[in-house]
Amino acid sequence: MQSARAIDFSVGLFIMLGLGSVLFMVMQTLSAGQINAGDSYVLQARFDQIGDLKLRAPVALAGVTIGRVSKITVDPDEFRAVVELRIDAKIQNLPVDTYANIASKGLLGGKYIELSPGGDDEVLKDHDEIELTQSAILLENLISKYMFSSEPKSSE
CA gap 133, 80 in Å, rounded: 12
pLDDT at 136: 77
* Antiparallel, parallel or unpaired: β 111-116 and 58-61: parallel
pLDDT at 141: 72
Domain ranges of the chain: 1-30, 37-139
Residue stretches of the chain with pLDDT short of 50: none
In this structure, is the dihedral angle defined by the CA atoms of residues 88, 94, 99 and 104, taken in order, positive or negative?
A: negative
pLDDT at 21: 87
C-alpha distances out from residue 15 to 21, 23, 71, 92, 141, Å: 10, 12, 38, 47, 43
pTM over 0.85: no
